[in-house]
Amino acid sequence: MNNILIYSVVIILYLLMLLFIGVVSGRRTKTTSDFYVGGRNIGPWVTSLSYVAAYFSSVVIIGGGAFGWLYGMSTLWIGAINVFLGTLVCWIVLGPRMREITHRLNAITIPDFLKKRYNSNFALIFSSLVIAIFLIVYNVSMLKGMGHIFEVLINIPYIYGLLISSLIILFYASIGGYIAVVWTSFIQAWIMGIGLILLTVFTLKNVGGISNAAMSLSAINSGYIETPGMWSWQGLLSYALIVSFGVWGMPQLLVRFYSIRKLNFFKIGTPIATLGTCLALIPYLNGAFSRILFPSLKNPDLAIPMLVKSVLNPIGSSVFLAAVLAAGMSTFSSVLIIITGSIVKDFLKEGLKVNYEEKRMLFLSKIVTLIVGLISILIAIKPPALVLTLTAFSWAIISSTTLWPVFFGLYAKWITKTGVVSSMVVGFLVALIWMLLKQPFKIHGFIPGIVAGFITIVLVSLITKKYDDDFLSEIL
């Protein structure tokens, strides 16, 4: 059977399944609460595995592979820290508390939570604008990863691969909202796992096992098997922290905690999510091994697609193609819903007081989802930078703005409105300026951003007016 025909059959069946889920979910989406958080009625397995799929999108599969090719085995530390700090600790520290308080406040987005927790309209408007703008940058990175997979495996132009994958997502996300997103992500997590494990088994076979691969990499450059190796310590730790600790401020992941049905479901979901995110190690490992087979790639983002084409047969390649599409689609669709919520519910409805009836607000949410998706597609036609670089840039800005207000908002009564507002502005500006200065001392902008935000929220809160006890008792 012709290779292109095999790819086409697998992908068509997969896309038809997603369309079916979108149609079914659309019938269940009756309110804006359904559209944004699934009516807070999602079970532990779906919540945890959709978290995994949204966390490790095509950004990690393609971008992580690119970093593995560039920097070698030391990039495995990024995946390991992802598992521990970005999943296990995050689910333990933030998950139950966030579910409890957002339910009490009836908050369904991060800006909505910040407004109600701190009684601050500025926090709502500022965070909604930062999230909407910089998550579009993140969306571009995911579309870029999906486009490259089509380009290498099926030999179709990048732009066609981009359009095929993105238009399907726009359909089911705009029709079915969060319910469609979370159920497609649940299925996509399984497809991702199968595809990544399949690739790893055949990659190890082609490079002669881990020991032989390590010797081969060492022969090219010993830095590829050492830590920090080709990295600097600053660079390695910066990237590890932004894609691990940065998760604590990323709305497309935190929304999973809003939507889970019961608090005791976290006892089930936490170990499932932690085991699932162990998949994060695989793209970095395969990317490092791909240098043995392809030592002189012009574009590191092609490391994983080239590896797939080299070590897997057409059926295996088509499964992996579905895995990458699954990874990218799950996160892209999640981010679309978050951006829409920031624009429609937070900025327009709550910030500018544009009030519509429930049905009209739901319709507007679907239209904005389509518009935001189309903007992302237009930018992704000629995207800048490497996939993981785009991701780290957007995560740094958003997390530097929201991380500390979210964290302290769950636990600290002594934090003040002035402290929160100051921290958001300072964290945002420091991270943005640092990134525009091209990361002095090879330290990623996330590090100075969250340090400045932390110092600001603590110091300003110590010297400014506290909230009344009555107000705090209603929230915490």
Residue pLDDT, tens place only, 188-244:
788 888 888 999 999 999 999 999 999 999 999 999 999 888 888 888 888 888 888
pLDDT tens, residue by residue, 306-327: 898 889 888 888 877 777 777 6
User: Do 300 and 386 form a contact (C-beta atoms < 8 A)?
Assistant: yes
pLDDT tens, residue by residue, 394-406: 888 999 999 999 9
Residue 384 has a pLDDT of 64
pLDDT at 124 over 60: yes
Show the DSSP H helices in 225-349 as ranges.
233-242, 251-259, 266-276, 281-293, 303-311, 314-340
Residue 388 has a pLDDT of 56
- 260 — phi, psi (to 5°)? -65, 145
User: Do 15 and 168 form a contact (C-beta atoms < 8 A)?
Assistant: yes
CA distances from 274 to 82, 84, 199, 271, 408 (A): 9, 8, 21, 5, 24
Angle at 361 between CA 356 and CA 363, to 5 degrees: 135
pLDDT at 389 over 90: no
The helices-and-strands tally (H runs, E runs) of the chain is 23, 0
Q: What is the mean pLDDT of the chain?
A: 86
User: Do 107 and 113 form a contact (C-beta atoms < 8 A)?
Assistant: yes
What is d(CA 299, CA 328) in angstroms, rounded to the nearest whole number? 19
Both structure tokens of 449: 């951003």
Q: What is the DSSP letter of 260?
A: B
